[in-house]
Structures are given as structure tokens and as C-alpha cells.
């Protein structure tokens, strides 16, 4: 744990419901709040992880661990942890505790609902026009809004060249769907390569995770910079720029040490910013990422 780090906020409660009922309620949390997104699970150990992206923050992971006390009694353990580093500010703890309060409220609400009411919630989500879903993502912040606008312009330019290509982009690849139903570690190397390359390309379902990883890395670097207003990153054109939100990408050719078998790779960012004396200092940031077939986990973050 880092110096001055604050322990991760946790809460444990016991409820008079079967563990399977609580599992379903936890997995349905995104139906009530889209800010909470499913990240990963371990069904054997009854562990479920969600993530939350926050404005001007890297975001947090929300870890649930369930224990069956009896046939009709379940213990719910919830821990909030930062995606990178440890909590070191009181305001971060306040925000984490707000997450805890919200999540237990959602679990209580969902547990009290019957199957018909849950299905009704799902139908509302499924019948929401796609444009509204995109607008929901824009609430992350004005910076991300600008990124989406830029991406939208690029999509329009390419679609003008070929309407057929636009239709293909919007179709979910059935091969990706099929492979994601299996554990990444159990897949043959050819399928692992296909999935990770699809992630690098931002293909189909990987468009949003790819975008968010790039955003996460940029925000992490900016947060750790003493003078973020002077921060510049080397973009895909090889030039340093303050407009790094739209000039950096997560792609195969910009990643290092790719291991398809383990699903690991590194993202390297060359940066420069001013120090306390006004002198520009150059550094290299290396982000270690693990891909699990559906999304990613940042496992380390180093400055060289």
C-alpha cells in the first residue's frame, strides 16, 4: 500500500434471501443505473466485479463477494477500489461510500421485484433508441463529448465512401459473441489472437472498451501530473500535443510486448510537462494491461 493510502471502503451485510436471488439482483444493477457496468465474475467463488467511470476521475472497481449463510440467508461483501493506485483523499472516500449506499439500495430494490418487473426493465432498455444510449455515454464529461464528436465525423467520412461498410460495422460479429461465452484461458491461440486483434481494432463490441481504455490511460497520466495544464503527449502523428484525447489510440501497432496466450500487452505514452522551475521534462509512461476476452484490467502503471 502506498504511503498515506487510505484503506478501501468496505461494507458487509446479511439479508434473508437465498444466494441465487441476490446474484440475480447484483447482475441486474445496470438496469437501474448505466453508470455501473459489469466487468467480470467468478461464479465458483460467487465474486462479481463492476466498474464505474467518473467525471475527472479514472474511476473505480466495485467488488461483490457473496457467502451463503443458510438456505435463505446470504452475506453480501462489497469493496470499492480505485482502478489505479490507492485512495488518498477524503473526498474519494466520500464518493466511494456514496457508491456503497447506492449499490445496496439497488440490490434491495431489485430483490423486492418479481420476474415480470425485472423483464419489464429489460424491455425498456432493449427498446431504447440507439441514439439515446450514445447520449448516456456523453454524460461522462465535455472532454469525452468532444472525442465522440470527432469519432462521429470520422465515421461519417468513411460511410460516405461506402454505405456497405457502415452496415458491416453495425453488425455484431457472431464469432465474437460465441468466443466471449467461453473463458479466454480455454481458447486456442488462433481464437485468442482473433479476439485481442478485434479489441485493438475497436471492432464491434470492443469499440467502447477500446475507447475507454485510451481515455483511462490519458486521465491517469493527467491526474498524476503535477502541472496537468502543461501536459503534452506524443500522438499517432509522432508530434507532442495537448489535444491528446483525440490524438492517441489503442492499436496493435501502438502496443508493445503483446502476448496473445496470456492476453497481456503494454501501452507506452511519451509525455512531457513543465516542472516547478518551468522546464519541460520528458518521461515515458508504460501501462500494463490484461485482456480477458470481454474487457481489460490495468495491472500496473509505471513512469520511466
What pLDDT digit, counting tens, does each position of 133-169 carry?
A: 444 443 444 444 444 444 454 444 444 444 443 343 4
pLDDT at 47: 92
| Confidence (pTM) | 0.47
C-alpha cell at 170: 453495425
Which is higher by pLDDT, 278 or 71? 71
Residue pair 269/217 in contact by the 8 Å Cβ criterion: yes
Q: Which residue has the higher pLDDT, 16 or 226?
A: 16
Which residues share a beta bridge with 287? Answer: 267, 301
Rounded to an integer, what distance in angstroms lies between the CA atom of residue 148 and that of residue 61? 24
Q: Higher-confidence residue: 126 or 279?
A: 279
Write down the pLDDT at residue 129.
Answer: 55
Closest CA to 73 of 113, 126, 8, 21: 21
Cβ proximity of 51 and 35 under 8 Å:
no
Would residue 106 be called left, alpha or beta, if left means φ above 0 and alpha means ψ between -120 and 50 degrees? alpha
Average pLDDT for 32-40: 90
Q: List the chain domain ranges.
A: 10-126, 130-171, 174-303
Region class of 85: left (phi > 0), else alpha (psi between -120 and 50), else beta: left
Average the pLDDT over each of 20-29, 36-45, 258-267 and give the range with the smallest value: 36-45
pLDDT class for 28, splitting at 50, 70, 90? very high
Q: What is the share, in percent, of the chain residues with pLDDT greater than 70?
A: 81
Q: What band does 185 get if pLDDT is binned at 50, 70 and 90?
A: very high
How much is the pLDDT for 266? 95
HEC secondary structure over 5-31: CECCCEEEEEECCCHHHHHHHHHCHHH
| Residue 264 confidence (pLDDT) | 97
Q: What is the pLDDT of residue 45?
A: 87
Per-residue model confidence (pLDDT) at position 154: 43
Averaged over 255-269, what is the pLDDT?
95
Residue 171 has pLDDT above 60, yes or no: no
Closest CA to 264 of 211, 207, 209, 185: 185
Render pLDDT for 44-54 as a digit per residue (tens, 0 to 9): 889 999 998 76
Q: Is residue 195 pLDDT above 60, yes or no?
A: yes
For residue 3, the model assigns a pLDDT of 44
pLDDT at 24 over 80: yes
pLDDT bin (cut points 50, 70, 90) of residue 254 is confident
Query: What is the distance of C-alpha 43 from the center of its chain?
Result: 20
Task: Please tell us whether the domain made up of 10-126 is placed in CATH 3.50.50.60.
Answer: no
Mean pLDDT, residues 121-130 taken together:
71
Predicted local distance difference test score (pLDDT) of residue 54: 63
- pLDDT given at position 128: 56
Mean pLDDT of the region 255-274: 94
Q: Please report the pLDDT score of residue 56 as a whole number.
A: 47
Q: What pLDDT does residue 125 have?
A: 74
pLDDT of 33 higher than 50: yes
**How do beta strands 280-291 and 240-241 pair?**
unpaired
> What mean pLDDT is predicted for residues 215-232?
84
Grid cell, residue 84, equals 489505479
Amino acid at each position: 500500500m502506498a504511503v498515506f493510502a487510505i484503506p478501501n471502503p468496505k461494507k458487509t451485510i446479511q439479508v434473508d434471501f437465498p444466494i441465487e436471488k441476490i446474484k440475480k439482483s447484483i447482475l441486474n444493477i445496470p438496469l437501474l443505473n448505466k453508470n455501473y457496468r459489469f466487468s467480470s465474475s467468478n461464479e465458483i467463488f460467487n465474486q462479481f466485479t463492476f466498474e464505474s467511470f467518473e467525471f475527472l476521475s479514472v474511476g473505480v472497481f466495485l467488488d461483490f463477494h457473496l457467502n451463503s449463510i443458510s438456505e435463505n440467508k446470504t452475506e453480501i461483501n462489497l469493496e470499492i477500489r480505485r482502478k489505479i493506485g490507492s485512495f488518498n483523499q477524503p473526498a474519494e472516500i466520500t464518493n466511494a461510500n456514496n457508491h456503497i449506499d447506492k449499490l445496496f439500495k439497488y440490490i434491495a430494490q431489485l430483490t423486492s421485484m418479481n420476474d415480470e418487473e425485472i423483464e419489464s426493465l429489460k424491455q425498456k432498455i432493449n427498446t431504447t433508441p440507439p441514439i439515446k444510449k450514445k447520449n448516456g455515454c456523453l454524460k461522462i464529461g465535455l472532454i469525452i463529448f468532444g472525442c465522440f464528436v470527432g469519432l462521429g465525423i470520422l465515421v461519417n467520412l468513411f460511410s460516405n465512401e461506402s454505405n456497405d461498410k457502415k452496415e458491416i460495422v453495425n453488425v455484431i460479429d457472431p464469432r465474437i459473441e460465441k468466443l466471449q461465452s467461453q473463458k479466454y484461458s480455454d481458447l486456442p491461440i488462433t481464437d485468442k489472437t482473433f479476439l485481442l486483434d478485434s479489441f485493438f481494432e475497436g471492432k464491434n463490441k470492443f469499440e467502447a472498451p477500446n475507447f475507454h481504455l485510451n481515455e483511462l490511460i490519458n486521465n491517469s497520466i493527467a491526474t498524476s501530473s503535477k502541472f496537468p495544464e502543461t501536459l503534452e503527449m506524443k500522438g499517432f502523428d509522432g508530434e507532442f500535443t495537448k489535444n491528446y484525447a483525440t490524438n492517441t489510440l489503442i492499436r496493435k501497432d501502438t502496443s508493445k510486448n503483446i502476448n496473445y496466450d496470456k492476453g497481456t500487452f503494454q501501452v507506452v505514452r511519451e509525455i512531457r510537462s513543465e516542472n516547478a522551475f518551468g522546464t519541460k521534462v520528458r518521461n515515458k509512461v508504460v501501462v500494463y494491461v490484461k485482456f480477458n476476452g470481454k474487457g481489460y484490467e490495468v495491472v500496473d502503471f509505471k513512469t520511466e
